[in-house]
A = this chain, B = another copy of it.
């Protein structure tokens, strides 16, 4: 039912959106660093956003939480190259000014825009450059694939490539609905996004911008975004350093004329499409993790609850020892089984089994016989999978991560200077 046509669709395929991205000189490299995404037709549209739950969060997250409250946004204004975090009152004033400038160039009020920033912590935004960038974005708004791509490039930091996903869903007689998204993130990736945002508010990372032309009331939109995040953004990590700026925002233009509401088939179709877009974006982030050479997909089955399974899968995926073994095509499965124990959830090894890249390596508390050389060869692939079954219940979760290479150290020992 969900028709994936990722090649043909892009962020602006859902009807009713305009975007632009420009180089304002915030980054030293000649790359885009200011972007603007707005609803077409000079009006606010239904919107929902989930934010980092790090007690320490950036100025744009503080403002974003306020501006999303009414469930309506005109658009999103962003910069990369500077996180506007740990920047005190001036940082808040700068984030608000970004929104004000967006309103000037694209209509409405400052509070109808959600600001996003990503980059280094603890530096005030170079506002002259930011202002210039937003004004130029306003002048260059459009709805073509090129506009989508310029916007997408403006959100990247250490990413090596842009990340995008889109689906078109046939809703029978009702017509068709499109859902699309772009995202960034390569380091400081360990999101735990929530509609409630941070417990308290600092460096920037995962940003996702989603569009749809379905008509959805904001409460339901938030509920569905949180649901989709649980099995995508919140089930993905690189270094598990939850950022201060993580934000995913979904704008619904309603321009398709298809209304998503209630609990019926239309909602289920929409949820499946949204989950697919978010999962694809999360997978692309894992694949482009700093220094990553492969994706590592960890599934835990048979935990007491899905939440237990998620904690165990996250603990395995976050272990540097495990990630180094995956990097080295090393079937050192003891690290995976012991890594599950780091979650602090009791399970019985004698009821536990582990299948690594399709090969059973541990079952019933004892090692299984396998050809280590052959398995190592099979692990030399773009994707490695681990399936841990713990025999305690029906809880299940999958987490996406990447391997851990020397390149990660190179990138992060030299990033600041």
A395 at the interface (CB under 8 A from B): no
A391 at the interface (CB under 8 A from B): no
* Residues 321 to 348 of chain A near chain B (Cβ within 8 Å): 321-322, 324-325, 327-328, 330-335, 337-342, 344-348
Residues of the B chain whose Cβ atoms lie less than 8 Å from the Cβ of A376: 417
Sample of 19 further A-B pairs with CB below 8 A, known A325-B413, A327-B409: A56-B340, A120-B334, A123-B367, A187-B321, A199-B346, A202-B334, A202-B338, A202-B349, A239-B321, A241-B339, A242-B338, A244-B338, A320-B320, A320-B404, A325-B416, A328-B417, A330-B415, A372-B416, A409-B409
Q: Are A243 and B85 in contact (CB under 8 A)?
A: no
**What is the bound-complex CA distance between A123 and B85, given in angstroms?**
49
> Which of A's residues lie within 8 Å of B, judged by CB?
53-57, 83, 85-88, 90, 120-123, 187-188, 190, 199-203, 239-244, 319-322, 324-325, 327-328, 330-335, 337-342, 344-350, 361-362, 364-367, 372, 376, 404-406, 408-417
Least CB distance, A88 to chain B, in whole angstroms: 4
Q: Output the nearest chain B residue to A362 by Cβ-Cβ distance.
A: B86
**What is the bound-complex CA distance between A55 and B334, given in angstroms?**
13
Residues of the B chain whose Cβ atoms lie less than 8 Å from the Cβ of A331: 416
Least CB distance, A344 to chain B, in whole angstroms: 7
Q: Are B333 and A122 in contact (CB under 8 A)?
A: yes
Residues of the B chain whose Cβ atoms lie less than 8 Å from the Cβ of A188: 321, 335, 338
Q: Output the nearest chain B residue to A337 by Cβ-Cβ distance.
A: B202
Contact A342-B54, Cβ < 8 Å, known A86-B334, A321-B239: yes
**Oligomeric state, in copies:** 2
- Sampled A-B contacts (18; CB under 8 Å): A56-B341, A56-B349, A86-B334, A86-B367, A121-B332, A121-B337, A188-B338, A200-B348, A241-B321, A241-B322, A241-B335, A241-B339, A242-B341, A324-B413, A328-B412, A328-B415, A332-B416, A405-B409
Question: What is the interface of chain A mostly: helix, strand, loop, or mixed?
Answer: loop
Q: Output the nearest chain B residue to A90 by Cβ-Cβ distance.
A: B366
**What is the bound-complex CA distance between A417 and B408, given in angstroms?**
23
Q: Are A200 and B349 in contact (CB under 8 A)?
A: yes
Q: Are A330 and B413 in contact (CB under 8 A)?
A: yes
Residues of the B chain whose Cβ atoms lie less than 8 Å from the Cβ of A405: 409, 413
Residues of the B chain whose Cβ atoms lie less than 8 Å from the Cβ of A120: 332, 334
**What is the bound-complex CA distance between A404 and B187, given in angstroms?**
15
Residues of the B chain whose Cβ atoms lie less than 8 Å from the Cβ of A338: 54, 56, 85, 121, 188, 202-203, 241-244
**What is the bound-complex CA distance between A366 and B410, given in angstroms?**
28
Q: Output the nearest chain B residue to A120 by Cβ-Cβ distance.
A: B334
